[in-house]
Amino acid sequence: MFYLPLFGLIALLLILFFWSLRRPRLSKPVGDQAVAFEDPGPRHITYFPQIRQALEPADLAYLASRGPAGLPRRVRKERRRVAFSYITALRGDFQRLLRLARIIAVLSPEVGAVHEFERLRLSVQFSWRCQLLRLRLVCQLAPIPELSGLSCMVSAFAVRMEAAMKELGERAAMAAELASSLESRGIDSR
């Protein structure tokens, strides 16, 4: 059965090809892309203090000492669900920022292979570690410092991207102004 690996390869190619032809879920009308450029800041990062509070063991200890028997368990379950939602939202913010970085790459006249592969590798790692974080929550461990670090990183990244986009807008405006002034003088800018 020499040709079986070859058939496996063909099957894999077919799956990959038809998967790649599907429209990505993230893809939205052009208008939304414009919004992403204007508003690259994270939307969910502001909820971090509440999440941290929700995961504090002291809260649950207080409820266990004062409340009815089933209450701490129920509260823990609910708060864990909220933490899950928070991680999902944080991941969404991160993906949005990554998408912005990809758009910058697409519109750049020169793209570095090293940077692109590095980003691809890091985003795979990020996804993997997010899953680990979820697993940790399932195991009832409260990774507050890590969650805090994660939130800070997304926030800092967003701030930097926002500044860069602002800078980008200014440069684009300057370039357009320069081009129009050259054109008005009848100079071929090429």
**Positions in the binding site for other proteins (CB under 8 A):** 2-3, 6-7, 9-10, 13-14, 16-17, 19-21, 23-24, 26-27, 94, 97-99, 101-113, 115-116, 118-120, 122-123, 125-126, 129-130, 132-133, 136, 141, 143, 145-146, 149-150, 153-154, 156-157, 160-161, 164, 167-168, 171-172, 175
Kindly tell me which of 75 and 101 has the beta carbon lying closer to other proteins.
101
CA 150, 26, 81: angle at the middle one, nearest 5? 45
d(CA 66, CA 43): 36
Give me the least distance between CB of 155 and other proteins, in Å please: 10
Give me the least distance between CB of 156 and other proteins, in Å please: 7
Give me the least distance between CB of 84 and other proteins, in Å please: 15
Kindly tell me which of 5 and 186 has the beta carbon lying closer to other proteins.
5
What is the 8-class DSSP label of residue 24? P
Give me the least distance between CB of 187 and other proteins, in Å please: 19
Output the DSSP codes for 99-157.
Answer: HHHHHHHHT-S---HHHHHHHHHHHHHHHHHHHHHHHHHHTT---HHHHHHHHHHHHHH
d(CA 43, CA 45): 6
